[in-house]
């Protein structure tokens, strides 16, 4: 059965998915006309893994903290907080949610294109949010356009009186297809905004945009939101050769770590370093794609992944975070990531540098498989990590089974 892009608009560069996943996606769709009620959180159950790791000491469970959303694409904790989160829905609506009491309010609602992988995709708070009151949003106002805008947050006496206003366009780029638009927005330690764009879509990057330095597609871009040149924000190409960096984050050493969604066989986790060419479409992961052999002769000095897994395990990687919390000491310093379609979660120790051969298979610490579509991870101020289920509309905190 094909990916979700036509049937349920669930496509995030998937290739195959089971009928059971499609069924869950169909029955979980909610009306987009009304914001979910906090009462929808009632009755959410702890989600145990449907497939346990061989080493039971690595097993985890998912504790529900919020529910009743439709097509979650991003979850961002307010800076320094562990209870207040912004939840994005693909359909263009964003909510401010208190995880302690379930109270939520609509933050804003945008008219967005939602075909295939389009929609409301990413959100980032300004590094000095409490002083500037600024945040940034990544979305598709039309089917052929990606846009990043700057917003102003005005807080009243209650969640219902919070007012958000879109102030200016930071960045726009034309899109040739309706998939591989990227997703996340992340500020780095340098206080610059990182925008990961996919290759523009369709199969196999037919126009080879990821290797075309005249195109901004298939690139990790960096923008200084405090500076314009001739009144314009000018994106810098930070790295190239990306297929679709849907989710990425910075680790404790200030390194950008991305989950780059694969094509036919391989999903990858990679360090995204300044000036690096990460190989797509010449390579898929660490393997030749185009050409199918002797690809090392095409371009020299390409940077490979730090970890990868094949499509026997999953077909659409969702990048995560380095764990820095206290409730799961065995995960301290490990980077967690998952697969959108299969609901599997793994972790790795991030290496000092990109290895000659990436970690794969049994070298990835396996934590289990859950009946969820993992669209995004989130990290609170205490370093605990959360996962969102795109189809079920729930948000879970990753916890120990003991």
CATH of the domain at 241: 2.120.10.30
pLDDT band (50, 70, 90) for residue 12: very low
41 φ, ψ (degrees, to nearest 5): -70, -25
In a domain, 296, yes or no: yes
Distance between terminal CA atoms of the chain? 37
**Residue 134 reports pLDDT greater than 60:** yes
Q: For the chain, give the secondary structure using H, E and C.
A: CCCCCCCCCCCCCCCCCCHHHHHHHHHHCCCCCCCCCHHHHCCCCCEECCECCCCHHHCEEEEEEECCCCCEEEEEECCCCCCEEEEEECCCEEEEEECCCCCEEEEEECCCCCCCCCCEEEEEECCCHHHHCEEEEEEEEECCEEEEEEEEEECCCCHHHCEEEEEEEEEEEECCCCCCCCCCEEECCCCCEEEECCCCCCCCCCCCHHHCCCCCCCEEEEECCCCCECCECCCEEEEECCCCEEEEEECCCCCEEEEECCCCCEEEEEECCCCCECCCCCEECCEECCCCCCHHHCCCCCCCCCEEEECCCCCCEEEEEECCCCCCHHHCCEEEEEECCCCEEEEEECCCCCCCCCECHHHCEEEEECCCCEEEEEECCCCCEEEEECCCCCEEEEEECC
Number of domains forming the structure of the chain: 1
Ordered strands of the 365-369 beta sheet:
317-322, 334-339, 344-349, 365-369
For the chain, what percent of residues have pLDDT higher than 90? 85
Residue 170: closest CA among 230, 237, 110, 225: 225
In a domain, 12, yes or no: no
**Residue 92 reports pLDDT greater than 80:** yes
User: By the 8 A CB rule, do 105 and 142 touch?
Assistant: no
Give the separation between CA 70 and CA 94, rounded to whole angstroms.
11
What is the per-residue pLDDT for 42? 54
In a domain, 390, yes or no: yes
pLDDT band (50, 70, 90) for residue 402: confident
Neighbours of 320 (CB within 10 A): 29
pLDDT band (50, 70, 90) for residue 26: very low
In a domain, 162, yes or no: yes
Give the separation between CA 125 and CA 116, rounded to whole angstroms.
27
In a domain, 298, yes or no: yes
In terms of residue numbers, what domain contains 368?
19-32+44-400
**Residue 159 reports pLDDT greater than 80:** no
Average pLDDT over residues 28-33: 28
In a domain, 301, yes or no: yes
Residues 328, 389, 59: CA angle, nearest 5 degrees: 30
Average pLDDT over residues 153-171: 80
In a domain, 199, yes or no: yes
What is the per-residue pLDDT for 162? 77
**Residue 29 reports pLDDT greater than 80:** no
In a domain, 11, yes or no: no
**Residue 33 reports pLDDT greater than 80:** no
């Amino acid at each position: 059965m094909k990916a979700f892009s036509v049937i349920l608009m669930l496509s995030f560069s998937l290739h195959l998915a089971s009928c059971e996943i499609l069924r869950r996606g169909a029955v979980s769709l909610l009306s987009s006309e009304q914001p979910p009620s906090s009462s929808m959180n009632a009755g959410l159950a702890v989600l145990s893994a449907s497939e346990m790791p061989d080493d039971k000491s690595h097993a985890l469970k998912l504790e529900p903290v919020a529910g009743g959303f439709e097509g979650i694409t991003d979850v961002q904790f307010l800076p320094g907080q562990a209870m207040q989160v912004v939840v994005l829905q693909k359909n263009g609506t964003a909510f401010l949610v208190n995880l302690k009491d379930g109270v939520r309010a609509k933050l804003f609602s945008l008219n967005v294109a939602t075909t295939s992988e389009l929609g409301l995709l990413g959100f980032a708070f300004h590094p000095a949010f409490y002083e500037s009151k600024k945040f940034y949003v990544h979305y598709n106002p039309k089917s052929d356009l990606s846009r990043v805008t700057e917003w102003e947050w005005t807080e009243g006496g209650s969640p219902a009186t919070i007012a958000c206003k879109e102030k200016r366009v930071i960045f726009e780029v034309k899109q040739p297809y309706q998939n591989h638009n990227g997703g996340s927005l992340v500020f780095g330690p340098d206080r610059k905004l990182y925008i990961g764009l996919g290759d523009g879509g369709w199969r196999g990057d037919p126009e080879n945009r990821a290797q075309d330095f005249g195109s901004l597609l298939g690139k990790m871009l960096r923008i200084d939101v405090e500076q314009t040149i001739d009144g314009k924000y000018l994106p810098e190409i930070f790295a190239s050769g990306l297929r679709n960096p849907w989710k990425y984050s910075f680790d404790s050493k200030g390194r950008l770590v991305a989950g780059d969604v694969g094509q036919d066989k391989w999903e990858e986790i990679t360090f995204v370093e300044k000036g690096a060419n990460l190989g797509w479409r010449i390579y898929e992961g660490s393997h030749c794609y185009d050409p199918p052999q002797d690809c090392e002769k095409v371009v020299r000095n390409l940077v490979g992944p730090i970890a990868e897994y094949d499509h026997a395990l999953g077909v659409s990687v969702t990048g995560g975070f380095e764990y820095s919390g206290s409730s799961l000491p065995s995960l301290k310093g490990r980077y967690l990531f998952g697969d959108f379609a299969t609901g599997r979660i793994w972790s790795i120790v991030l290496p000092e540098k990109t290895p000659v051969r990436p970690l794969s298979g049994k070298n990835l610490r396996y934590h289990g498989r859950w009946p969820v579509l993992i669209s995004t991870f989130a990290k609170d101020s205490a370093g605990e990590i959360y996962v969102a289920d795109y189809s079920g509309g729930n948000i879970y905190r990753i916890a120990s089974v003991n």
